[in-house]
A = this chain, B = another copy of it.
Amino acid sequence: MSNLLIIGAGGVSRVATFKAAMNDHIFKKIVLASRTKSKCDAIAKDIKERLGVEIETYEIDAMDVDATAKLISDTKSDIVLNVALPYQDLAIMDACLKAGAHYVDTANYEHPDEAKFEYKEQWAKHEDFKKAGLMALLGSGFDPGVTNVFTAFAAQELLDEIEYLDILDCNAGDHGYPFATNFNPEINIREITQKGKYYENGKWKEIDPMSVKFKWNYPKVGEYPSYLLYHEELESLTKNFPSIKRARFFMTFSDNYLWHLNALQNVGMTSIEPIKIAEGCEISPMEFLKKVLPDPASLGPRTKGQTHIGVVATGYKNGVKKRYYIYNICDHQCAFREVGAQCVSYTTGVPAMIGCLMIATKTWFEAGVKNMEEFPARPFLYQLNKQGLPWFIEELPTEGLPIDN
Contacts and interface: CB of A to CB of B under 8 A. Distances in A.
Interface string A38-57: 00000000000011110000
A217 interface: no
A386 B51 contact: yes
Interface in A18-42: 22, 25-26
Contacts of A378: 52
Nearest to A328: B337
Q: Count the copies.
A: 2
Contacts of A79: none
A378 B53 CA distance: 12
Main secondary structure of the interface of A (DSSP, over half): helix
A385 interface: yes
Contacts of A379: 52
Interface string A373-393: 000001100100110101010
A382 B334 contact: no
A51 B380 CA distance: 10
A331 interface: yes
Pick the most buried of A51, A337, A392: most chain B CB atoms within 10 A of its CB: A337
Interface in A162-219: none
A51 B331 contact: no
Given A25-B25, A331-B333, A333-B331, A382 B338 contact: no
Contacts of A50: 382, 385, 390
Given A50-B382, A333-B331, A378-B52, A338 B388 contact: yes
5 contacts: A25-B25, A51-B382, A51-B385, A51-B386, A337-B392
A51 B378 CA distance: 9
A378 B51 CA distance: 9
A25 B22 CA distance: 12
Contacts of A356: none
Contacts of A338: 385, 388, 390
A51 B338 CA distance: 21
A329 interface: yes
B25 A390 contact: no
A42 to B, nearest CB: 17
B390 A22 contact: no
Closest 10 CB pairs of A and B: A52-B382, A334-B334, A50-B385, A337-B390, A22-B386, A25-B25, A331-B334, A338-B390, A51-B382, A51-B385
A393 B101 CA distance: 40
Interface in A330-368: 331, 333-334, 337-338
A170 to B, nearest CB: 15
A385 B18 CA distance: 10
Interface in A312-338: 329, 331, 333-334, 337-338
Interface in A92-121: none
A288 B264 CA distance: 65
Contact of A331 (B22, B52, B331, B382): B331
Contacts of A220: 333
Nearest to A21: B386
Contacts of A337: 329, 390, 392
A385 B21 CA distance: 11
Nearest to A50: B385
Given A25-B26, A50-B390, A51-B382, 17 more contacts: A22-B386, A25-B25, A50-B382, A51-B386, A52-B378, A52-B379, A53-B382, A220-B333, A329-B337, A331-B331, A331-B333, A331-B334, A334-B334, A337-B392, A338-B385, A338-B388, A338-B390
A241 B334 CA distance: 33
A378 B331 CA distance: 27
A50 B390 CA distance: 8
A333 B306 CA distance: 11
A263 to B, nearest CB: 34
